[in-house]
Amino acid sequence: MNMISIFICEDDLRFLLMLSKCVKDYISIEDYDMKLILCTPTPAEIIDYIKSNEVNGLYILDVELENGENGVELARTIRQYDPRGFIAFVTAHPHYIQKTFEYQVEAMAYIQKTDDENIVCQKVADCIKNAYIKHVSRAYATPFIFKSANGRTVSCEYGDILFFETDSHKGAKRIILHTKSRQYTFYGTISELAKDLPNGHFFQCHKSSIVNVDNLTKDCKEDLEQERDYMLMSNGAECPISIRKKRALLKLIEALK
């Protein structure tokens, strides 16, 4: 799954630096697959970047910029290159929010500059979290398509996947895919696979396995709390788990609740 690229366009330098810090701190704490790409007072810099790069973006834009430039018009241009991008508007004047409706630009949040810094950062954090959840949900809705070891192309719904595990066979690197009803084998490595799966749903619980967190049963969670090096899945297969990954997986399960 491609990471989310974050862009900030704000002409007040102090506020720009504050927004930048809020973003960096939050994505670092949550360890989201996101990166702050640009912090700029100049809309053209953002447009030039997204014209030249394919991005999944989150854009935090000042509604009223200097030199008569308009953050809402910038958002409309962004939509031409990143139609599914997430947009949040920043303003010191609440009545300017009406412009976003007039221009028919869908926004996921409105941040008031006049709010206390802690409130601003909390709104930025909420915006990032919501964008991340929606981004992950989009990826999860797309089937997992792969070529099996016998050369057949297979399409498998993510919701049907229990876990992946390494299968060493005659020196070849292969992966066994366990679904609720059957197994498939395909060529690849766990480390490569981990980069392509939707974050927030799949967790690498061992160097040789990746589990679908959504399909963990009550028994799986009990296995995590015991001194075991596996979880017994609903299909009867044992999914390997390392001791050092147990705590992180339990934390993720709790967060998804």
Contacts of 208 (CB under 8 A, 6+ apart): 165, 166, 190, 240
- What percent of the chain has a predicted confidence (pLDDT) above 90? 44
User: What superfamily does domain 144-256 belong to in CATH?
Assistant: LytTr DNA-binding domain (2.40.50.1020)
The pLDDT score that the predictor gives to residue 32 is 85
- What percent of the chain has a predicted confidence (pLDDT) above 70? 91
Q: pLDDT tens, 83-135?
A: 889 999 998 766 555 555 454 567 778 888 888 999 999 999 999 999 988 88
The pLDDT score that the predictor gives to residue 101 is 46
Higher-pLDDT residue of 255, 165: 165
Q: Taking 80 as the threshold, does the pLDDT of residue 49 lie above it?
A: yes
The pLDDT score that the predictor gives to residue 97 is 56
The pLDDT score that the predictor gives to residue 170 is 63
Q: Taking residues 240-249, report their average pLDDT.
A: 88
pTM > 0.85: yes or no: no
User: What superfamily does domain 4-141 belong to in CATH?
Assistant: Response regulator (3.40.50.2300)
Asked whether the beta carbons of 74 and 102 are under 8 A apart, the reply is no
In the chain, list all ranges with CATH 3.40.50.2300: 4-141
Q: Taking 90 as the threshold, does the pLDDT of residue 224 lie above it?
A: no
Averaged pLDDT score across all residues of the chain: 86
**Does the CA dihedral 230-245-175-34 come out positive or negative?**
positive
The pLDDT score that the predictor gives to residue 18 is 95
Burial letters 30-65, b for 16+ CB under 10 A, else e:
eebbbebbbbbbebeebbebbeeeebbbbbbbbbbb
Pairing type for strands 4-9 and 34-40 reads parallel
In the chain, list all ranges with CATH 2.40.50.1020: 144-256
Q: pLDDT tens, 153-189?
A: 999 999 899 999 998 776 678 999 999 989 999 999 9
Higher-pLDDT residue of 71, 160: 160
> How many CA within 13 A on the CB side of residue 54?
1
Q: Taking residues 17-36, report their average pLDDT.
A: 92
